[in-house]
Structure 1
Amino acid sequence: MSHESVSQIPVIYEDNHLLGIVKPVNIPTQADVSGDPDLLTLLKDDIKERYNKPGNVYLGLVHRLDRPVGGAMIFAKTSKAASRLSEAVRSRSFSKVYAAVVHGQLPAARGTLKDMLLKDSKTNTVSVVGRGTPGAKEAVLDYEVLGTGGSFSLVKIVLHTGRSHQIRVQMNHAGCPLYGDQKYGSRVNKPGQQIALWSVTVGFPHPVTKEDVVLNSLPPSEFPWNQWEDTVLSRLL
């Protein structure tokens, strides 16, 4: 993503303390081994330019989205806001709702998935393991199937824990890998397909005013999302 295309990152909320944006797909949240332009750096540069700020600009990363995932994200513009938002994440008063298109059909129209996940840092993969496995962390999510089409299901997911690759791993373990997920669903996906996972809602108490802030972003109107009417997609919010 070039410098000019910072303008392609929609800002959906901004005040002196916070910056809420819609993350484009296939851009890393922060600098990684790829060396590709990352969201944090692009947004810092943009703030510096827009407000004509000298020196370094502070922008705190409060939560992450995997590189191929897009949607609503919040950043902190002050260290105080960052620490209060991080505390909201820890105390689970920070809500995260996702949309996913998965292969197959889940066992029920709605339900809760609880698994123990173990991350392998060497391969950057996560697997479901037995309870009591050293280093494993519990992952919990609620899901609701909003529609089915062909061999796919549109699923609304509320995360209760923020484990690495959590939705992708838990859905695959439930027999419904995400559309386009090369890492956990390579048996049913083709290389080059865009993973169908989107951050639709991020909600939290404002770090200063304490008022509820809710940021929303619906998935793009392209395949596989466009298999469902807007009336169905609007139920994600």
Structure 2
Amino acid sequence: MYHLSSKTPLHILYEDTQIIVCVKPPGIATQTRSTGAPDMVRLLKQHLYQINPASGEPYLAVIHRLDQPVSGLLVFAKTPAAARELNRQLQNPDKTSFGKYYCALVEGPPSKTFRHPGKLYVPGSPHQHFQNMRSRRKKCKTCPIRV
């Protein structure tokens, strides 16, 4: 186990010569342009460099991102060929490809309709749900939740 800081462990669930799968804790960015802020790319590159310092700066491709406040699994490619294949799988999913799946854990329903950046809680339907109001394709994406 490697450490993001003295308080936050870096959990690598799977690693081989092509990919790394890790848990991104809440509060850490997947990737940032700030030079001083910790992010998963920088921390994983440090991990890879510690394993093999003779190879120089490691290659690490971001396959998908998670917002900074949330936690979840991230997949990174360690080679350009792995990056191409993983991106192909995300763009053209089939029964053997990997994909993105979201799960939210909430405790009880809000008492009134509330807004969260980009999301609207809509009570009163058989399946209370969040609607993503900022879709690139200008369509609302709905994620059913159970309360």
Calculate the TM-score normalised by the size of structure 1: 0.46
Q: 2:126 aligns with which of 105, 108, 119?
A: 108
Structure possessing the higher relative contact order (Cα contacts under 8 Å, 6 or more residues apart): 1
Provide closer, same or farther for how the CA distance between residues 53 and 23 of structure 1 changes in structure 2, counting only shifts above 3 A. Answer: farther
- What displacement does 1:31 show? 1.8
Question: What amino acid maps onto 2:74 in structure 1?
Answer: M
Whole-Å separation in 2 of the counterparts to 1:23 and 1:36: 15
Aligned residue for 1:9, secondary structure, equals: strand
Gaps (5+ residues) in structure 2?
Answer: 111-122
Cα drift, residue 70 of structure 1: 0.9
Counterpart position of 2:138? 137
The structure-2 alpha-carbon separation of the partners of 1:11 and 1:87, relative to structure 1 and needing over 3 Å to count, comes to: same
Task: Indicate if the aligned counterparts of 1:6 and 1:43 stay in contact, CA closer than 8 A.
Answer: no
Contact 1:40 1:59 in 2 (8 A): yes
Aligned to 2:45: 44
Pairing partner for 1:97 from 102, 110, 113: 102
Q: Which runs of 4+ in 1 moved over 3 A?
A: 2-7, 32-35, 113-116
Aligned AA for 2:103? Y
Secondary structure at the aligned position of 1:47 is classed as helix
RMSD: 3.1
CA distance in 1, matches of 2:51, 2:8: 11
> Is 1:28–1:66's contact at 8 Å kept on the other side of the alignment?
yes
Aligned partners of 1:85, 1:6: CA distance in 2, in Å?
Answer: 32
Assess if the C-alpha contact under 8 Å between 2:21 and 2:73 holds in 1: yes
Per the alignment, residue 13 of structure 1 pairs with 14
| Worse overlay, 26-35 or 76-85 | 26-35
Which residue does the alignment assign to 1:79? 80
Q: How far 1:33 sits from its partner (Å)?
A: 4.3
In structure 2, the residue matched to 1:160 is none
Unaligned residue ranges in structure 1 (runs of 5+): 119-134, 149-237
CA distance in 1, matches of 2:138, 2:4: 39
Structure 1 114/78 Cα, relative in aligned 2: closer, same or farther at 3 Å?
Answer: same
Change (3 A) 1:19 1:137: same
> Do the aligned residues in 1 keep the contact of 2:132 with 2:142 (CA within 8 Å)?
no
Letter in 2 for 1:107: S
2:65 aligned partner: 64
Equivalent in the alignment of 2:114: none
Over 3 Å counting, the alpha-carbon distance change for 1:144 and 1:3 in structure 2 is closer
User: 2 CA distance for matches of 1:7 and 1:52?
Assistant: 24
What is the aligned residue count? 128
How far does residue 137 in structure 1 lie from its aligned partner after superposition? 3.0
Q: Which has the higher strand share?
A: 1
Q: Which residue of 2 aligns with 1:54?
A: 55
Give the alignment of 1:188-227 within 5 angstroms: none
1:27–1:115 CA distance, 2 compared to 1 (3 A): closer
The equivalent of 2:134 in structure 1 is 117
Q: Shift of residue 53 of structure 1? A: 4.0
Deviations 1:101-159 (A, max 9, x none): 27425622377x776636xxxxxxxxxxxxxxxx75334344241xx4xxxxxxxxxxx
Give aligned-pair identity as a percent.
29
Contact 2:4 2:10 in 1 (8 A): no
